[in-house]
Amino acid sequence: MLALLDEVPGVAQSRVDWTGRRFLLELEAHARADEILRRARLVLGGDVHRLEPSEEIAAVARYRRGEQWMLSGETVALSQAEARVLAQRHGNEAARAIGLDAQKTARLIAVIEGEVRAAFEGIHAAGRGLPADQDALFAAVAERTLAKARAFLTPEQLERLEASVSQGMWGR
């Protein structure tokens, strides 16, 4: 997505915040903001609008103070880190809830991380930012995780893992 925005005539550089929903466009000196906004809407699709002037000033000030606004290649690294964090959190919670030993906990965490990472890579490949229905995305991650966990969990452990997933334990 950022690579496409960088190709818009008049855009010197584009960045995105950690949510994937707010973009910061640095314009070339001759660029007209209204024309850039029109072209950005074509690239981004959906409900794209320029921030209100006070919000825009505040966003730029946060950027200048060092708030992280990522360039194109940096978003992938952030997603990989987020996949690790989510896998550790949800894997350890699930392991405690169902009584897994350290070896099975590590395997479960690795499976979750792989599935979350694959989902995030799909989002990046699609180039459209976070999907509107994130619940469906994470439900699919949970289903693929459960399918892979069958290889190393006992039927009882798998049943308890399925129950923890259905109770919303894996919500973002």
Question: DSSP of 96-160, one letter per residue?
Answer: HHHT--HHHHHHHHHHHHHHHHHHHHHHHHHTS-S-S-HHHHHHHHHHHHHHHHTTTS-HHHHHH
Instruction: Return the ∠ at Cα 75 (arms to 69 and 79), rounded to 5°.
Output: 125
pLDDT of res. 130: 66
Entry pTM = 0.63
pLDDT at 170 over 70: no
Least confident segment among 24-28, 44-48, 60-64, 83-87 = 44-48
Cβ contacts of 94 within 8 Å, gap of 6 or more: 100, 108, 161, 164, 165, 169, 170
Residue pLDDT, tens place only, 83-135: 899 899 999 999 998 999 999 999 999 999 999 999 888 887 776 666 667 77
Q: Where are the domains of the chain?
A: 2-64, 72-166
